[in-house]
Chains A and B, each alone.
Chain A
């Protein structure tokens, strides 16, 4: 058993999750590939969204995968970094907006 929680080799084995539950695994992968097809959003735009979300959910596998996917699509590093900032801004905004709850609670409890 490996000592690390995350191992880059595991990403290549992702599809093996179907071995323990074929039906749900296959449904997931079907869904996943449909989501990323060209649609009202281009596959390129979806790739950048995926990259931003990967950072927000702290998934090292997804970060590896969508950085490479972006390179393959000709997405530039400046675009990638801007996407990451969008994710970071939403995430920090989500933290900070709770500050209002803190303020409300503070004022409610204070004389």
Chain B
């Protein structure tokens, strides 16, 4: 298992331009597979059009205590990019002056940001944002004493916790995320349960994210949820609310893995074959905007990692203009097939 980000390894694929080339050349150039835009046309679907913005997903930085093999952020302990307090203030201003239903905090491990707790409490105190999501990798809660009380902090601020747990068994989890990750995740989930998460309290939602540990698509979300619930309860007494199954998009470290393991073509083929027009109408970029640590705006976290800024002159949070941004054209490439395969995939799981 790698312990460094692609960036720190100076890998060819840390160059986003190179990733976009790979996604446009080869099988998509020689006509073997249709490009994403061609596919939309085949199904008489128009260009994907933004609807009313309801979710602001803020990536506070790429630092993480883990270096997961599939990570689309290329996060890790060696990533130092971090949002400044000034940019956080700019985000808060947007939340104060616009109707933002949900703020979704992600990273890296967002909890590692020194201003993380300040930011969460400011959102609660100063804005009318209804839901604050924190994407927690769970192990961070156990990683250091200073994080042990995170479950209490989350509960006090009624944070909706969405956590990744690749599988309900140790082997697969540790292969994808690193040795020891499974045991620590279980302990963290038990801690969250103890403060009331994952039960019937609507304010203390704990959802899990499943993503396949390999070059295959996720199975049916409901069936997976039943399996997870059964095993986690029987083996560890753990409760949670919903399971979101998320498709791995072919970018960054997962793209690197696909190419190195010679699974790239077959995987892209599977994504294209599973194209679902209903999912295409509900992709998350229709109601979400993603903000980078530098304050730039993107159609989604994936486009952020590909450095595809929104196609609008209002491309920074300080120039935020909801109406103008609703008119933008979403930047599409072949990685978008990951959002439209099968039951579709978004940061909230299946969409069709």
Stretch at the interface among A19-27, A65-73, A96-104: A65-73
Per-residue 0/1 for B204-237: is the Cβ within 8 Å of any A Cβ (1 yes, 0 no)? 0000000010101111100110010000000000
Hey, which bits of chain A sit against chain B, CB under 8 A?
A: 12, 43-44, 68, 71-74, 76
* Least distance between A78 CB and chain B CB atoms (Å): 9
Q: Is B337 an interface residue (CB 8 A)?
A: no
Which residue in chain B gives the minimum CB-CB distance to A73? B219
Q: Is B167 an interface residue (CB 8 A)?
A: yes
| B269 lies within 8 A of A74 (CB) | no
CA distance A44 to B220 in the complex (A): 11
- A43, A44, A71, A76: the one within 8 Å of B216 (CB): A71
| B212 lies within 8 A of A73 (CB) | no
Not counting A44-B223, A74-B224, a sample of 19 additional A-B residue pairs whose C-beta atoms are within 8 angstroms of each other reads: A12-B269, A12-B273, A43-B220, A71-B212, A71-B214, A71-B216, A72-B212, A72-B216, A72-B217, A72-B218, A72-B219, A73-B219, A73-B223, A73-B224, A74-B167, A74-B219, A74-B227, A76-B169, A76-B172
Which residue in chain A gives the minimum CB-CB distance to B231? A74
Contacts of A76 in B (CB 8 A): 169, 171-172
Q: Which of B258-280 contact A (CB under 8 A)?
A: 269, 273
* Least distance between B341 CB and chain A CB atoms (Å): 11
Interface size on B, residues (CB 8 A): 16
Contacts of B167 in A (CB 8 A): 74
Contacts of A72 in B (CB 8 A): 212, 216-219
| B212 lies within 8 A of A43 (CB) | no
- B169, B216, B218, B223: the one within 8 Å of A68 (CB): B216
CA distance A92 to B290 in the complex (A): 58
* Least distance between B168 CB and chain A CB atoms (Å): 8
CA distance A68 to B267 in the complex (A): 11
* Least distance between A24 CB and chain B CB atoms (Å): 23
CA distance A43 to B222 in the complex (A): 13
CA distance A72 to B227 in the complex (A): 13
Contacts of A12 in B (CB 8 A): 269, 273
Which residue in chain B gives the minimum CB-CB distance to A76? B169
**25 A–B contacts from the bound complex (CB under 8 Å):** A12-B269, A12-B273, A43-B220, A43-B223, A44-B223, A68-B216, A71-B212, A71-B214, A71-B216, A72-B212, A72-B216, A72-B217, A72-B218, A72-B219, A73-B219, A73-B220, A73-B223, A73-B224, A74-B167, A74-B219, A74-B224, A74-B227, A76-B169, A76-B171, A76-B172
CA distance A43 to B227 in the complex (A): 13
CA distance A74 to B228 in the complex (A): 10
CA distance A63 to B214 in the complex (A): 17
CA distance A33 to B344 in the complex (A): 20
Which residue in chain A gives the minimum CB-CB distance to B167? A74
CA distance A6 to B184 in the complex (A): 45
* Least distance between B243 CB and chain A CB atoms (Å): 11
- Those 6 A-B pairs whose CB atoms lie nearest each other, nearest first: A72-B219, A73-B219, A71-B216, A72-B216, A68-B216, A74-B227
Contacts of B214 in A (CB 8 A): 71
* Least distance between A10 CB and chain B CB atoms (Å): 13
Contacts of A74 in B (CB 8 A): 167, 219, 224, 227
* Least distance between A29 CB and chain B CB atoms (Å): 15
CA distance A12 to B218 in the complex (A): 19
Contacts of B219 in A (CB 8 A): 72-74
Per-residue 0/1 for B161-202: is the Cβ within 8 Å of any A Cβ (1 yes, 0 no)? 000000101011000000000000000000000000000000
Contacts of A71 in B (CB 8 A): 212, 214, 216
